[in-house]
Structure 1
């Protein structure tokens, strides 16, 4: 069976919103894949994510 990758394209508003959350609340520079575990994986707690989404 063939595997399919589904990729959701964000609108500019969604992109700006997610970028603001990752920088401001989570302290993540970028969510772009950089092919390095040290750069691609982040230690973020559930309550940090919850706080970022509720704020």
Structure 2
């Protein structure tokens, strides 16, 4: 019986704890190319509609 108690006292334990600091996920997505294409297309359309702007 003493052997069983000693064996139970040596079993490893796993503790799950929440982190003290919040988890941050950095999603730096570059949308520059898409925005630039849209702006260039819109600028070309505006210039065709109003060639006297420039």
TM-score normalised by the chain length of structure 1:
0.28
The structure that has the greater radius of gyration is 2
Greater per-residue helix proportion: 2
Higher relative contact order (CA 8 A, sep 6+): 1
TM-score normalised by the chain length of structure 2:
0.29
